[in-house]
Structure 1
């Protein structure tokens, strides 16, 4: 029997983490087998930089909805690996603007075919398994619902009603 089924929503976060760890591990393995020194934790940064020439740290933080310090730390790591560079914004000297280096652009060229295959394979899973149809859309709806009504607040309110 699968331990993760009976507890239902009580173990929802653990199931998502388990699925996420599996997914990340598999993708990192693919990059490694292809000889591409890319780490999936860099994906969101590379994806955004694949769509725009450069971006400020503040804009990056806002788009990713993560703290400025997390963005700064990741950019620092990518800079150490010579994949990105940051310069002061020409319009506003207080802002740092990040862009891919030549090595970063080369890596982006190397990983784009992997991204295409990921899309293809995951779409095929969705097409083969009817219950997966619209999964990402439903996941987005759940994320939006939890933004609108934070889970913790809802649980505490429910507990108040029960007493």
Structure 2
């Protein structure tokens, strides 16, 4: 498995480019078998000109979704190969139009026969798939035409309706957020453990009834993050189960929860707040140190992932 395969969603562009190259290198061989000095990259430009008779660079760029320099570069190569030529526009002598040359017109019937075979092959290939590639591409393009990728990114990670961050305490209707946010971040880096599920599935029994508290960061009507303060001694509390939705990262949700957790631990009579974490989580460790947490040693921990423990005197 290559790094592109491992990256999955993060390397969609690279994967599509690689898929194109799979097709292109073999289509070049098909053209050679037909004695055609032609490459797949020329197809859409050549095809458009063959259907329209004549076309200007601006119209071609708009139709194909290419830049002007991109069209000019491809047109220059096709002109050097002799498939197209540049002529003055009959309507406006100041404009240059692209049209098929004599060689381009002569090659067209042969190219059309090759394209018909490629269409048949692609149909057979796509229809044999569990997830039809062409249908998936059409669906993705329709979604991006409705709302482009940048807009989607901004809405997911930089929401425009940016209300103030409000920290609230546990209510039964928020239990699912406590579990879901934590499951999401744990699975991103580690594996959910039995002790996690004990607390996440039964927070009222294992946290609240024992003298602890669960906090939530709310923005407008959306829960953006959560954490728990678990009583572990007469005046000791553990800061645990802190999770922030990726949608709201960058909004300093962790800071808001941390400040509220420290204040709540003090209000509950705590004199020491401690936590277990992992050295891989550099941003989280920086947050803890910012608020004065210092490392200490423990004999045992209920979490396999916890390789560092920190404490704060309140």
Q: Same fold (TM over 0.5)?
A: yes
- Pairing 1:78–2:75 present: no
Task: Quote the residue 2:20 is aligned against.
Answer: 20
Aligned residues between the structures:
161
Deviates more, 1:79-88 or 1:113-122: 79-88
Equivalent-residue separation in structure 2 for 1:55 and 1:4 (angstroms)? 39
Provide the residue aligned with 1:145 in structure 2. Answer: 143
Instruction: Evaluate the alpha carbon distance shift between residue 5 and residue 71 of structure 1 in structure 2; reply closer, same or farther with a 3 A threshold.
Output: closer
How many Å apart are 1:5 and its aligned residue? 5.0
Q: Which has the higher strand share?
A: 2
Distance 1:150 1:129 in 2: 28
Which is further off, 50-59 or 145-154?
Answer: 145-154
Task: For 1:1-163, list aligned pairs within 5 A.
Answer: 4=4, 6-132=6-132, 135-160=133-158, 161-162=248-249, 163=251
Question: How much has 1:148 moved relative to structure 2?
Answer: 3.8
| Distance in 1 of aligned mates of 2:76 and 2:8 | 40
Greater relative contact order: 1 or 2 (C-alpha under 8 angstroms, separation 6 or more)? 1
* Unpaired segments ≥5 residues, structure 1: none
TM-score normalised by length of structure 2: 0.47
In terms of fraction of residues, the more helix-rich structure is 1
Retained in 2: the 8 A contact 1:46–1:108? no
Q: List runs of 5+ in structure 2 lacking aligned partners.
A: 159-247, 252-314
Mark the CA change 1:3 to 1:80 in structure 2 (over 3 Å): closer, same or farther: closer
Superposed displacement of residue 2, structure 1: 6.9
TM-fit CA distance, 1:130: 4.0
SS at match of 1:97: strand
Compare 78-87 and 153-162 and name the one that shifted more: 153-162
- Is the CA contact (8 Å cut-off) linking 2:126 and 2:134 kept in structure 1? no
1:24-78: CA deviation from partner (whole Å, max 9, x where unpaired): 1111111122221111111011111221211122211111111112212221222
Q: How far did residue 96 of structure 1 move?
A: 1.1
